């Protein structure tokens, strides 16, 4: 029946067109995610780097914490509400050294601040503007309960953002902390590669690594890389103590 065949053909073409439009929309949505960079504004004399450590959940890598205290290396620690609840002893040590440690906002539950439903590195995103706001505000509230100064910086889980989420976070009053050196690959790199990456940091770099994986080999590399930088004469600064310049509207 020619009429039926034509209707079937048109239906198939329509379904193919719909599938293509959905695929293109998904690809466009995926392309909107950004992973911002952050550099310190260069100054005369040079030789400054900022160490930022994420405390996502779990425990505390005392190898890193002890090395920072013993070697007087300042660091900006991005903590989640989850980590704060489980690591009171580490928080007490950090609070006892306010000249070294600056605690900043890593979110309430370590959820990627992307305002559409999707997965980033296998982690489900916040999925809506309201959920993004809740993640940011609950992280700040958790830090408030832990004492100390109110956070000024925010770094989301996975360090990837939708542009609209960036705009919302900025309206909430936070600068967004990107980075320029991925020191430990999410704490999944070996000690040797982590050491190499961190030791290679240059003037103005912002290093990211993790302080919540005490069983990972990367922690040893973080320590060795930092000691290598110190031996080179590098000066470590916290984000609050230096002007950082980020892209994608994260600090301006």
What's the mean per-residue pLDDT of the chain? 90
Domain boundaries, the chain: 1-31, 35-246
Q: What whole-number distance in Å separates Cα of residue 241 and Cα of residue 218? A: 27
Tell me the angle at which helices 163-171 and 129-145 cross, rounded to the nearest 10 degrees.
Answer: 40
pLDDT tens for residues 73-120?
999 999 999 999 999 999 999 999 999 999 999 999 999 999 999 999
- What DSSP designation does 234 have? P
The C-alpha angle with vertex 208 and arms to 203 and 210, in degrees rounded to 5, equals: 145
Distance CA 38, CA 174 (A): 14
Task: Give CA–CA dist 55/49, Å, rounded.
Answer: 20
Reported CATH class of domain 35-246: alpha beta
What is the Cα–Cα distance from 113 to 126, expressed in whole angstroms? 6
The answer on pLDDT for 11 being more than 50 is no
For residue range 148-194, list pLDDT tens digits in order. 889 999 999 999 999 999 999 999 999 999 999 999 999 999 999 99
Two structure tokens written together for 6: 């034509």
C-alpha to C-alpha distance for 105 and 27, rounded to whole angstroms:
30
Spatial separation of the C-alpha atoms in residues 70 and 68, rounded to whole Å: 6
pLDDT of the residue at 120: 95
The tokens describing 188, both together, are 């999944």
Q: What is the pLDDT of residues 191-223, one digit of tens each?
A: 999 999 999 999 999 999 999 999 999 999 999
The dihedral sign for the CA sequence 181, 183, 187, 188: positive
């Amino acid at each position: 029946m020619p009429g039926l065949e034509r209707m079937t053909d048109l239906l198939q073409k329509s379904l193919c067109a719909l599938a293509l439009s959905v695929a293109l929309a998904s690809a466009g949505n995926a392309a909107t995610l950004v992973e911002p960079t952050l550099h310190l504004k260069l100054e005369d004399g040079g030789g400054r780097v900022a160490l930022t450590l994420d405390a996502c959940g779990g425990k505390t890598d005392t190898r890193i914490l002890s090395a920072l205290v013993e070697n007087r290396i300042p660091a900006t620690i991005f903590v989640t509400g989850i980590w704060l609840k489980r690591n009171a002893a580490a928080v007490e040590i950090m609070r006892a050294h306010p000249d070294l440690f600056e605690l900043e906002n890593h979110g309430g539950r370590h959820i990627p601040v992307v305002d559409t439903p999707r997965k980033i590195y296998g982690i489900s995103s916040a999925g809506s503007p309201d959920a993004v706001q809740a993640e940011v505000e609950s992280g700040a509230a958790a830090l408030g309960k832990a004492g100390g100064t109110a956070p000024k910086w925010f770094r989301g889980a996975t360090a990837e953002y939708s542009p609209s989420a960036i705009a919302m976070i900025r309206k909430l009053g936070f600068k967004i902390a990107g980075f320029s050196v991925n020191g430990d690959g999410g704490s999944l790199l070996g000690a040797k590669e982590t050491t190499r990456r961190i030791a290679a940091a240059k003037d103005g770099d912002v290093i990211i690594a993790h302080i919540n994986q005490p069983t990972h080999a990367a922690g040893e590399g973080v320590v060795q890389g930092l000691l290598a930088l110190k031996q080179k004469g590098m000066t470590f600064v916290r984000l609050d103590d230096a002007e950082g310049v980020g892209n994608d509207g994260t600090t301006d």
